[in-house]
């Protein structure tokens, strides 16, 4: 395998910073959903790390389910038209749902997903995301739990990919220009 050592430009959020913030988020979610059954809905594939590390910090009664969605349209930019590749196995009727995401960029994916899930008769639908790029927002999404607001740079690691790579890195960072330019 090729060495990734040269691919990284800088670390934006260290493993320790992420873990400390997840501690706080988990405590907040626990408090908000005390006495309720919560369904965590992870959005494949980016949300895998956040789901694993956030849920393990929680003491609320939780279930987990997963969705895979894909934006129609050109290449790297979300179009806002979303197609379900893998739907939930869980009936949402009467359920408290918390969507778990790695990042909100344009907001188009989440905005579509929230209204899709709201149409299924849940008791509530909220969002928890590790990262948000406020300056990249094309649509306002009401997000209950945000780990970090970050600048509109392309970030990788901790679930986030570039061409499916770098998801496994335990931190969030940016890539050196040569990675994009080949």
Residues with active-site annotation: 105
Q: Is 109 in the site for ligand PRP (CB under 6 A)?
A: yes
Among the residue ranges 9-17, 21-29, 40-48, 170-178, the one whose residues contact ligand PRP (CB under 6 A): 40-48
Q: How far is CA 112 from CA 5, 31, 58, 169, 173, in A?
A: 37, 27, 27, 28, 27
Q: Which is nearer to ligand PRP, 38 or 107 (CB)?
A: 107
Instruction: Quote the least distance from Cβ 67 to Mg ion, whole Å.
Output: 14
Least CB distance to Mg ion at residue 27 (A): 29
Token reading at 173: 């960072």
CA–CA dist 62, 55 (Å, integer):
8
Binding segment toward Mn ion, per CB under 5 A, in 15-23, 39-47, 80-88, 149-157? 39-47
CA Rg value for the chain: 16
The CA distance from 113 to 137, in Å, is: 16
Residue 103 is a binding residue for ligand PRP (CB under 6 A): yes
| Residue number closest to ligand PRP, CB atom | 46
Q: Where are the beta strands (DSSP E) in the chain?
A: 8-13, 37-44, 61-71, 82-86, 96-104, 124-132, 145-149, 155-156, 172-175
* Beta strand pairing call for 124-132 and 145-149: parallel
Exactly one of 13, 39, 41, 46 binds Mn ion (CB under 5 A); which one? 46
103 binds, among ligand PRP, Mg ion, Mn ion, none (CB under 5 to 8 A by kind): ligand PRP
Residue 159 binding Mn ion, by CB under 5 A: no
**Residue 105: contacted member of Mn ion, ligand PRP, Mg ion, none (CB under 5 to 8 Å, by partner type):** ligand PRP
* Residue burial 119-135, b: 16+ Cβ < 10 Å; e: rest: eeebeebbbbbbbbbee
**Binding footprint of ligand PRP on the chain (CB under 6 A):** 43-46, 78, 101-110, 161
**Binding footprint of Mg ion on the chain (CB under 5 A):** 161
């Amino acid at each position: 395998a090729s060495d990734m050592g040269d691919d990284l430009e800088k670390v934006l959020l260290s493993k320790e910073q992420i873990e400390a913030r997840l501690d706080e988020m988990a405590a907040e979610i626990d408090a908000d959903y005390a006495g309720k059954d919560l369904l965590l809905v992870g959005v494949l594939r980016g949300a895998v790390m956040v789901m694993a590390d956030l849920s393990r910090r929680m003491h609320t009664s939780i279930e987990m389910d997963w969705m895979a969605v894909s934006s129609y349209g050109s290449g790297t930019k979300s179009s806002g038209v979303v197609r379900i590749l893998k739907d939930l196995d869980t009936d949402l009727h009467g359920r408290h749902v918390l969507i778990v995401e790695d990042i909100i960029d344009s907001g188009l994916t989440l905005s579509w997903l929230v209204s899709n899930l709201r149409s299924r008769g849940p008791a509530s639908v909220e969002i928890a995301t590790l990262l948000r790029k406020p300056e990249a927002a094309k649509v306002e999404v009401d997000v209950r739990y945000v780990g970090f607001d970050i600048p509109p740079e392309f970030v990788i690691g901790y679930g986030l990919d570039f061409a499916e790579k770098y998801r496994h890195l335990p931190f969030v960072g940016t890539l050196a220009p040569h990675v994009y330019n080949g």
